[in-house]
Amino acid sequence: MAHTQVSSNKCAGGFQKVFEHDSTELKCKMKFAVYLPPKAETDKCPVLYWLSGLTCTEQNFITKAGGQVAAAEHGIIIVAPDTSPRGCNIEGEDESWDFGTGAGFYVDATQEPWKTNYRMYSYVTEELPKLINANFPTDPDKMSISGHSMGGHGALICALKNPGKYKAVSAFAPICNPVQCPWGQKAFSGYLGPDRAAWEAYDATVLASSYSGPPLDILIDQGRDDQFLSASQLLPDNLIAVCSEKKIPVVFRLQPGYDHSYFFIYSFMNDHVKHHAKFLNA
């Protein structure tokens, strides 16, 4: 479980660090960011995992979301991985922005040539938490998950597929029903093949319809002026309908005037950290 520090910056009383390691799941070098709040110097802390969206790396969240101040206040470690394997030399991996590099979609691919490396689901739910818990002052029983867009989809499916593993989940402008939208259909057919039943295993709306785990509190913020909302890529109404039918508590906030960018995330990040703190520090 060797990992190497790439950078370290004092931030909000703690440290924003970036590390690199050789991933066994993804068979390549991967970077991940870790924010260590001041509390981590003396105590074990809960961990919030942040999953970023299409085209992002571990850098976007740590430089744009402003989550460190709230994380410092609530004593939460934030871990932000990259969004896909890197440099695998797979033919076609760099051809489009919404498939391949920077677009792992948090699934375990079953199709050639992707299935050897594109295992982001197992990386995020198994390999990375093991690495984090072995090397940082964490409380391994207290983790939660959040994300944006493709990463919001990732956060929702990780929580819904692993009842009880995450204490809470939140998302900004998540892709809620990927089997029904162009982004999801493109990614899932490439990574998972033509069988739609395989797709449904990674669709938050489908997973919510059969969820039977412990209570899971979901917070979703969505910008009303998000171009991808109007392009029917996100489809939050489908998820909300299923959640209300299944009595899964979801707070959905449609935020007037906000778009899909990190300016939107920055505006409401404190609320999300507070949401997680309520369950992580209980």
List the catalytic residue out of 149, 221, 272, 275. Answer: 149
* Beta strand ranges found along 98-245 (DSSP E): 138-148, 169-172, 218-223
**Exposed, middle or buried: residue 212 (CB in 10 Å: 0-12, 13-18, 19+)?**
exposed
Distance CA 204, CA 160 (A): 7
**Catalytic residue check, 122:** no
Compute the radius of gyration of the chain from its Cα atoms. 17
List the catalytic residue out of 82, 108, 203, 226. Answer: 226
Pairing of strands 138-148, 77-81: unpaired
**Catalytic residue check, 226:** yes
**Catalytic residue check, 22:** no
List the catalytic residue out of 74, 148, 153, 260. Answer: 260
**Exposed, middle or buried: residue 247 (CB in 10 Å: 0-12, 13-18, 19+)?**
exposed
Distance CA 172, CA 272 (A): 9
Active site members: 149, 226, 260
